[in-house]
Chain A
């Protein structure tokens, strides 16, 4: 099975190790992984700020990059959600591009969604002897409907003690440009989220979206809290190597 990595601009530049974990796990499960180098960004920063024309042009770059891919897998429910939820709308007046957008929607998956839904794997045989809590990301849950998949993967990790995050489905306050534009609102939200993480006593916070994790992790760092923040793919890969 040929799988193209949609690495997202955030992970490309700030969290390359997350995509490396995704690539190794997919390879372990028989996927032939490639990286179409023309990809940049899904266009969400512009789209969510109201700049739809600008977002559309950046979207074309992504659509072109994956035109020849069979499957596209990304470590972000938010960027995948952008493609699924808004690309058909962005190209509603351009039939040729609308068809291309639909084609991309049909083959693009978020990492946990692909593992569980397409590869049919939920037990990776990982062991992770730590106390872990999990923050579900809004766009994975609400734009993509990815709710069960990360929990399925986590619940089959051996030796891990899982503790549920209070108010776990509340947004962490990232929201892309919201974090900067409405800094005070965002701050109130991330402080509450970080507080809830600490309240669990977990050593590790795991999630499926680096945007949210950069936000919560950045707050935990500022507070000097020793919580390790990881993407689900990193936790699973580390758990597999340790086994």
Chain B
């Protein structure tokens, strides 16, 4: 996934999912920090759900709104774009990441931009905008606190909404100390205060403010931004030029729909009723307005999304509202954190979205195996995306493309032959009893050759008993018949 993924991390620990997993698992700081925050977010979410009345009904409503929007995406994109233009903004459709980057560069060049202040935007991460800006000598400053921390650390986000979830206070204090020359104690208040002061100047000096978009409202052409720091509002209001980069699926038809998805988003993401700031921006500064940008540019990115439209299994992945509830409940994410996924999008949604957007089943497709298929992601998803099923279907896609290892393919063919025929099944299970014997110690299998070693590295395996249930059935049947004659015990 090099070139697509987390470059800084890839360089340090290699590119394979397994080596990234081992690296993360050996990082006690990371594991503690991720578990601590996801636990907090998880319990917050459960509380916020409880106070919202019939959560299942809200989920159904959210799913209906998102499915309707995506089913009619061409219509709503047209309506949204028309309304942005009517309001005095400019709209650009970008087929690929590089098209979006080029569009942004054109705007930057026209405005002779030297400094870009960025609000939080996962799409800008997806298209690697910061790296491209750096190449052109344009400073891009992240103004979301978490993103700012990562910029200092030269890392990428490891969570959709808490980008620096893998860092603890001590690590952040060290980053701030190194960057500023001042000494910082690991105290949240002090660190936040420093970032606040430091970032304020950038809002005022920036030539361009860049943001993502949580939801575009088609009926008005409005851009909705949610944040808890207020930086979204600053970045989109103070600089002369505001550029929005957004995924093409990030729309809702009306304000009535917006109310539902905003409620679902905040409650599922952080357990808040609403985020501290919800900014709804319609068009650039109009005559008579006291503030606002002089220019508004909206770059709408496809980058693999439209490939999912019409797909009976995967279209629904476009319904995602990026709340990260699936990350917070995922037992795999909890242990390995976001960078292990080697992609901008991590957790269960990242494991599904990444191979689809990159249209890469070979490398990125390996992410489909980063799940025990426990289904916690589906249960938590506020718009009911069946991520656990999608993961299985991605594995199937990998199999169909013959991208799985030959021994595995042979093994499952044999499985089909043996388990599809009762005589062969009985023969195989009997021979397994004898074949296990060299491995059995004290009635258990404590170690074995691959692939069994994958199991025994962390647990013992019971040995196959001499008699299977099948062997015991005759005797049991007689016992049960006696029981029935006696009239049972009940």
Contacts and interface: CB of A to CB of B under 8 A. Distances in A.
Interface in A45-70: 45-54, 57-58, 60-61
B372 A171 contact: yes
Contact of A46 (B412, B477, B480): B412
A114 to B, nearest CB: 15
A138 B465 CA distance: 27
A58 B419 contact: yes
A215 interface: yes
Q: Max chain B CB contacts within 10 Å: which of A28, A54, A181? A: A54
Nearest to A78: B373
A173 interface: yes
A33 B397 CA distance: 41
Nearest to B35: A192
Given A16-B468, A142-B376, A29 B488 contact: yes
A180 B488 CA distance: 43
B370 to A, nearest CB: 7
Interface in B411-436: 412-413, 415-416, 419-422, 425, 429, 432
A240 interface: yes
B191 interface: no
Given A33-B480, A175-B372, A188 B25 contact: yes
Contacts of A85: 389
A39 B457 CA distance: 32
A52 to B, nearest CB: 5
Contacts of A142: 374-376, 378-379, 388
Interface residues of B, number: 73
B18 to A, nearest CB: 7
Contacts of B394: 50
B469 A16 contact: yes
A219 interface: yes
Contacts of A171: 331, 372, 374, 376
B204 interface: no
A41 B419 contact: yes
A189 interface: yes
Interface string A205-231: 000000000110111011000000000
State the majority secondary structure of interface residues on B: helix
B458 A219 contact: yes
Q: Max chain A CB contacts within 10 Å: which of B372, B394, B396? A: B372
Interface string B378-398: 110000000011001011111
B457 A187 contact: yes
A169 B39 CA distance: 13
A106 B480 CA distance: 26
Contacts of B334: 170
Contacts of B90: none
Contact of B372 (A174, A184, A191, A192): A174
B416 A50 contact: no
Contacts, number: 208
A151 interface: no
Contact of A27 (B392, B444, B480): B480
B21 A185 contact: yes
A33 B25 CA distance: 48
A185 B336 contact: yes
Contacts of A14: 462, 464-465
A176 B452 CA distance: 13
Contact of B469 (A7, A27, A190): A7
B52 to A, nearest CB: 20
Contact of B480 (A23, A41, A51, A178): A23
B480 A184 contact: no
Contact of A179 (B379, B455, B460, B477): B455
A54 B332 contact: no
A58 to B, nearest CB: 5
A129 B464 CA distance: 30
26 contacts: A12-B470, A16-B471, A20-B476, A29-B488, A35-B477, A37-B473, A38-B422, A41-B419, A43-B419, A45-B412, A46-B416, A49-B395, A51-B416, A58-B415, A138-B372, A138-B376, A142-B374, A142-B376, A178-B371, A180-B452, A181-B451, A182-B370, A183-B458, A185-B21, A189-B372, A218-B459
Q: Which 3 A-B pairs have the closest CB atoms?
A: A175-B372, A50-B395, A218-B459
Given A180-B451, A189-B372, 9 more contacts: A9-B419, A13-B429, A27-B488, A28-B490, A51-B416, A179-B454, A179-B455, A189-B332, A190-B458
